[in-house]
Amino acid sequence: MPAIRRLPDTLINRIAAGEVVERPASALKELVENAIDAGATSIAVKLAEGGLAGIEVTDDGCGMDPAEMALALERHATSKLPDEHIEMVATLGFRGEALPSIASVARLTLESRTRDAGEGWRRVVDHGVVVEEGPAALPPGTRIRVEDLFGKIPARRKFLRSARSEYAACLDVVRRLAMARPDIGFVLEHDGRRALAVQPREELAARVAQLVARELAQDGVIIDLERGAARLTGVAGLPTFNRGVADHQYLFVNGRPVKDRLLVGAVRGAYADMLARDRHAVLALFLDIPPEEVDVNVHPAKTEVRFRDPAFVRGFIVSGLRHALEGEGRRTAQAPAAPAMANWQAEPISRAAEPAPSLSSLFAREYAAPVVRDAPMAWRGEQPAPLAPPSGRAEQAVDAPQADHPLGVARGQVANTYIVAEAEDGLVIVDQHAAHERLVLERLKSAGAQGAVAASQALLIPEVVELDEPDCDRVEAAAQTLAGFGLAIERFGPTALLVRAVPSVLGKGNVQALVRDIADDLAQNGAALLLEERLDHVLATMACHGSVRAGRALSVAEMNALLREMEVTPRSGQCNHGRPTWVKLAHGDIEKLFGRR
């Protein structure tokens, strides 16, 4: 056996630095957090080759004297923990590892000056060895330069990515910290080019929109809720303003940027019945809770946290987001697509010209999912059941658009799929299936929230649905809950279920497909989600099967009833999959199409 020996301090620091300094972005994060904790009101960052060649952070904070600078470069020396109550930490940094870790794997130049000092002081550490110190000329504050990162550790250096990838990670770090502190001004320069600049003392919503997406100013919802000692603020994008990846979700706990699975899952649950499963919301959420209710000392990088009451945190975020989005139920971020609008530009008329595009193609989205149309319904001696008018409102035949009808008055139907309505300020096109799908879902959820059993329609001949035994077990376990929504199911052998009644709002649908989809939802989202969220998935499936399909002809009365109910139904601006239920072509846009302006 080799003899046990004590490792030298330089090697200990390099080993420990691997937990704190993984790449230029992690070093930059620690330096900017130190500047914020120092009380800076302005922070300037300069990068060279994505941080691989150099990082410089300058702030106007409190600064340090020479003795404090020497102590700051020692491990576990910090001014941010005045006592031993680590659970009460209120600063971004507190471990006292950042500067010595960076100095052990790079050439670090630390310059600082306090406000009452006549001059500053400079200290240079090259991979753990102090090589130079002396006076320095700089304004009050601190300036830190990091060069030759991992220069003497080639095994770490070769695992770094390209300059472009490292710059993207550094930009994300500065963007997150700038979002967390709208009271501080940030400037980021990369290879002499200014990439980011925000002014101090900005409003939170304005700062978020500037850094995340400018569209959030029009397509976002302001969030400001309190529950006990917890507070949730931020900006959440409308469901119709979404992305294909989740890299535009910024989450903060007590001003600290975090990447926590609990918070990500709460966001996904809040948008569960408003977004397709391959789409992701755009938002920035700031959760403030008492420090003793969260543990930030989980990992040296401080991006992971643990909550004392995770169920409360998840429920608070889910309910807060849904409450804010319900208040903007009819808003939609969908506008006529630019490629579709280009198809309507004036072109020379020729006899051999191709047929003009149909009206439905005007609003086709470039990435929209294909619409599944039912086969044309042949006359069988009976008419489809008409849509019920909104409760508490008598249906009226209105000839002219009125101010209290934001979605206008129905004028016709195109391709038996889209309702064309005239509003006071433009032309409204409604996807009848997407709109009715949302209305049915909200009816089902409303019945469940009120504790009332939804009206059901008994089947003359009960339907037998054959499934795998595990699927039958899951549906049987949820049978009592499903009965509250009007779906009566009972076990019919090891691998079969018997459906005796369906919710009346679903009308005549495919019972087999409905039950199979419910089983799939329960299998996919079973134990991972709260009961309320699992029910939302099931209700969304039921609503999709019970809504009026594309390809069904509607009368004018039915179209107006649908429009009026949309106006009084929360979240009617998008369907259960996050697609818009209606778009509007303003009068100005119509005039442009005809060259009037």
Express each pLDDT in 495-550 by its tens digit: 899 999 987 766 666 788 778 877 877 776 554 444 455 556 566 666 666 565 55
Q: Which pLDDT does position 401 carry in this prediction? A: 67
The CATH number of the domain holding residue 231 is: 3.30.230.10
Regarding whether 191 and 169 lie in a shared domain, the answer is yes
44 and 186 together in one domain: yes
Whether residue 169 is found in the same domain as residue 286 = no
Are residues 190 and 208 part of one domain? no
Q: Are residues 445 and 553 in the same domain?
A: yes
Q: Residues 162, 209: one domain?
A: no
Q: Per-residue pLDDT averaged across 406-424, rounded?
A: 88
Tell whether 45 and 23 lie within a shared domain.
Answer: yes
- Residue 566 within a domain: yes
Last residue of a domain, which of 155, 182, 198?
198
Residue 374 belongs to some domain of the structure = no
Top mean-pLDDT range of 205-209, 393-397, 444-448, 586-590: 205-209
- Write down the pTM of the prediction: 0.64
What CATH number should be reported for the domain holding residue 147?
3.30.565.10
Residues 252, 122 share a domain = no
Cβ atoms within 10 Å, residue 139 = 11
Q: Check if the beta carbon of residue 437 is closer than 8 Å to that of residue 543.
A: yes
Q: Shortest CA distance to 240 belongs to which of 277, 297, 279?
A: 279
Flag whether 391 is in a domain: no
Full residue range of the structural domain in which residue 448 is found: 335-344+398-597
Strand order in the sheet with 249-253: 220-227, 230-237, 283-288, 249-253, 256-258
Specify whether 463 is located in the same domain as 592.
yes
The helix or strand, by DSSP H or E, that contains position 431, with its residue range, turns out to be strand 426-431
pLDDT in tens, 572-585: 888 777 778 888 88
Question: How many structural domains comprise the chain?
Answer: 3
Rg (CA), the chain: 30
Q: Among the three residues 198, 220, 238, which one is the final residue of a domain in this structure?
A: 198
426 plus 480 within the same structural domain: yes
Please check whether residues 211 and 179 belong to one and the same domain.
no
Residue 551 lies in a domain: yes
Answer with the one of 326, 354, 387 that is the final residue of a domain: 326
Digit-coded pLDDT (tens) for 21-44: 889 999 999 999 999 999 999 999
